[in-house]
Amino acid sequence: MSNEHDLVELNVTGMHCNNCALSVHKLLEKKGLQDIHVDFANEEVKFSGAEDSSLPTIIKDIEGLGFKVYEQEEAPQEKFYDKIENRFYFSLIFTIPLFSHMFLPFHWLHNPYIQLALCLPVFILGAIHFGKSAFNSLKNGMPNMDVLIFIGFTSAFIYSLVGTAFELGANYMFYETTAVIITLVLLGNLFEKRSVSQTTSAIKDLLKYQQVKATRIKGETHEVIDSRTIQSGDILLVNTGDKIPADGDIIWGDASVNESLITGESIPVEKTKYDSVIGGTLVEHGTIKISATKVGKHSVLSQIIEIMKRAQSSKPPIQRLGDKVAGVFVPVVVSISALTFILAYFAFNIELGDSIMRAIAVLVISCPCAMGLATPTAVMVGLGRGAKKGVLIKGGATVEEMANLKYMVFDKTGTLTTGDFNIKAMDVIDISKEDAASIIVGLESYSNHPIAKSLVKELQSQVVKKFIFTEVKEIKGLGIKAVDNDGNTYEIGSNKIINSGEDDFDIYLKRNNNLLVKISIEDQLKPDAKELIDILKEQKITPILLSGDRKEKCESVAKKLGIEVVYAEKLPQEKLDIIDSYKEQGTTAMVGDGINDAPALTTADVGISLGNASQVAIQSAKVVLLNNDLKSVITLLKVGKHTLITIKQNLFWAFFYNVFAIPLAALGFLGPMLAALAMAFSDVVVIGNSLRLKIKKLN
């Protein structure tokens, strides 16, 4: 159990299906709590907005529904008789002979007392399994689906029991109906539990990466420890083939590290001393010693897992609709069932037994588990599919927003362009090109600015002699000032250093106040930028360029890519105002490189952060693209679109199934046993359709 940032996490056991999860969800909603997430497959309940003093009452009420809240450390082993599979097998053993009397010629199977003996264990199991949940949900004023199931099989059992007691004959024998309903609904629950645990497999896969052994170096000794016990500052040895046990910095050695877990990119990255490494990634070749920096909840992988868990819990608006329908469903269905019986028996003079069976069939077939599963299963699979491709989506609601996107706003440098610069033109005055290159490389090697690095990289090969500078000073926003051995002063920087209105070049170099060099540079476009802009236009999404860079630069990039709307030379606050104005016109996404675009990413409906999984990017954006490429934005659009299609298909099948099946049951075309089978089948159809998203070709 933890309580961090007002978010309370509880571990709850005993939840077998979506019904149980819905009961807990409604209970917490009734208490006015927010950010509620109930995941029965992972036994997790999360919510915020609770006072510390009210927590014991909330726990007591959850346990009042028939579940058990436990501490993470003392995770209880599910008892043999509590396991859903064992309950199903137990009821199946008695149900098969009971059901077989309908087509086997053994006379003794028709004996009402033998049928009662075979049915009784199944009925008791059903009464415990569904009755407890039904009773607790009624007690809390939130009737769940188990109420329908319980009324259904109990009615059939009592009716048969009365027939046996008063020897009323074969027309009163519906013991097999009781047993088959219980067995088939348990089978449905079993399918549900197994399928949902498949849909949450993306998180389970990530958790496996965290559970590794580590070699800690203390003085001369090496000790093997569990990665969960690593502390910040520990020195760890990692050899070829080992998973890196924690985030850290290399202090010795070099290695090829496969970071596909984080970035989706399978080509290993070469790492050497002082480079940082991420826990869970794999050393393919080499041996390194690292100093652990971020451990436990602060590691990149832990934060990704946390994002995935929260994402799977946030409900898109389309699911809230399903929840509302499910909320009024039980009383409506019980009323339809009662009406079915009254009309059949009193208005149409149908036999008592047949009238009761029709009413029971209505109860059993209506169970809208499929409706409850429609959205979460699709969202889980969609998010998992995105995560495998290095696209971290922080919530079900984001999926829906991506599918309804009107505008996509791009930052320029580092987003549409690589951040690497080429020299477009270089004019030299009273100096040779080689000397100019030597001076520029000498000065710019003192700076970490991306433009400085690009100039050094491009001009390095033209250097003919080394200029020695005695004083070097970098002035932010202006450039570099320096003095050489002979007392000459140099300045390199933007047009601000020449105090003239000239604006045709980007970088100027002066010696002793005389202009020596004028350089015009251009930013390289990212390889997938053009394809992405074309796809956006095809999908009627307007691409917009929003940058603080010079107008000519922005217009040049926009022209190459085919972007018609350009905002240049904008300050951070102006960027926010522009995004706000677009949000009023339609759903707006902002794509930026995380650090400097954090405010804009937070303001947009969907903030998409390119770049390394930096702290700021993870916190401010709704989507983090771990690969740092624009192809991931295309993946994101596809995942969003297909997840929403899957949700709509699921909801259609779930609603259509109920609308179609209830009248059939009421008219007597579907008996209770067929109804129970159909109900289990509807869950399987919905979950199967969601799982299809795992392998579906995304166009």
Q: Which residues form the catalytic set? A: 411
| Element counts in the chain: helices (H) and strands (E) | 23, 25
DSSP 571: -
Q: How many residues are there in the chain?
A: 699
CA distance 412 to 395: 26
- Could you count the other beta carbons within 10 Å of the beta carbon of residue 496? 12
- Alpha-helical runs (H) found in 200-316: 201-210, 260-263, 300-313
* Phi and psi angles of residue 183, each rounded to the nearest 5 degrees, phi first: -65, -45
Cβ(118)–Cβ(97) below 8 Å? yes
**Element (DSSP H or E) covering residue 250:** strand 248-258
Apex 662 CA angle, 658 and 663, nearest 5: 130
Return the sign of the alpha-carbon dihedral for residues 102, 105, 110, 116.
Answer: negative
Q: For the chain, report the end-to-end CA distance as a whole number of angstroms.
A: 42
Would the CA dihedral through 9, 13, 14, 17 be positive or negative?
A: positive
Q: What are the φ/ψ torsions at residue 483 (nearest 5 degrees)? A: -130, 135
- Report the run of H or E that residue 39 belongs to, with start and end: strand 34-39
Cα–Cα dist 188/235, whole Å: 51
Pairing relationship of beta strands 405-410 and 542-546 according to DSSP bridges: parallel
Rounded Cα gap, residues 491 and 516, in angstroms: 10
Identify whether the C-beta of residue 456 lies closer than 8 Å to the C-beta of residue 490.
no
**DSSP code at position 105:** -
Helix or strand run (H / E) with residue 289:
strand 282-292
State both tokens at 535. 């796809």
Is 444 in a helix, a strand, or coil? helix
